[in-house]
Amino acid sequence: MNYRHGYHAGNFADVVKHLALVAILLHLRKKDTAFTVVDSHAGRGIYDLSGQQACKTAEAKNGIGQLAELSGDMPQALASYLSLVREIGRGQYPGSPLVIAKLLRARDRLIAIEKHPEEFAILQQTLGPFRQAVAECGDGYARTLKLVPPTSRRGLVLIDPPFESQDEFSVLARTVREAARKFATGIYLVWYAMKSQAEADAFCGEVLAGGLAKAMTIETAISAAPGKLARAGLLIVNPPYGFAAVFHDIGALIAPLLQASIKCTWLIGEE
Ligand SMILES: C[S@@+](CC[C@H](N)C(=O)[O-])C[C@H]1O[C@@H](n2cnc3c(N)ncnc32)[C@H](O)[C@@H]1O
């Protein structure tokens, strides 16, 4: 458990992941009925971009740093994400549980799980003001399988592991398959590191073999120094109707700013 997200908060991969997260949450808010979000690998919820960890890598500079001044006409999810980041304050960046908590209505719920005790302690403080959110210290994979299906029967599972262990891809694939079997109508947003396209394709293939009806990927690539993360993927199971079109428009706006290529691909069930 050496991974600390503080070194990577606000980088290109965080920006794309959090934009997808906001787009899905805005969709869930369109209906009056309550929804539940499970954030299996939550982190601490807020990051100091002027702190020692962020300054050491300066990854946020080529991520949120490139978008901070963006204005004018833009898709609602991008506008909501930027206003949320600006509201947090200069030099701070929201992690996924804070992004989610800020977009919940009184009837919605968030369960955010974090295994590392120090990160968990800060997560608890971050979520303290939000009555609809609860932080748990534990294993996000095991808890996810216990928490689905939620009683609301509508919702999102975000799985964003650190990719520290050798078997992360296989545990991740097993968990997504099993969760999607138990909660087939749930939306799943799954982040994966991309050391090679073949490994990423094998992972998506393994999840798909569980028998999904609708799934797509968003894969982002930047040019990065050797040894640094240059490619990251998102697997979205049951993307909401219209999500792909929204993300296509967001990608067209942000890709040049991030100096990235952002590729959306339907794996199954194209709209
Ligand atoms: C990539 S970071 C999460 C970032 C966060 N989702 C965000 O977008 O702001 C992964 C986190 O998972 C935590 N972690 C590692 N193994 C875990 C496990 N088995 N269950 C829950 N959390 C775990 C790490 O301590 C780290 O904080």
Report pLDDT for 227.
Answer: 83
Report pLDDT for 178.
Answer: 98
R_g over Cα of the chain: 17
What is the mean pLDDT, run by run of 10 residues, along the chain of 271 residues?
92 98 98 98 97 91 92 96 92 97 98 98 98 98 98 97 95 98 98 96 97 96 88 98 96 96 96 83
Mutation probe of ligand 1 site: the residue of 4, 5, 147 with most atoms within 8 A of C-beta: 5
160 is catalytic: yes
Q: What is the CATH number of the domain that holds 168?
A: 3.40.50.150
Give yes or no for residue 115 CB within 6 A of ligand 1: yes
Domain that residue 26 falls in: 5-268
| 69 alpha carbon – ligand 1 mean position (Å) | 29
Give yes or no for residue 232 CB within 6 A of ligand 1: no
Domain count, the chain: 1
Q: Which of the residues 14, 73, 160, 167 is marked catalytic?
A: 160
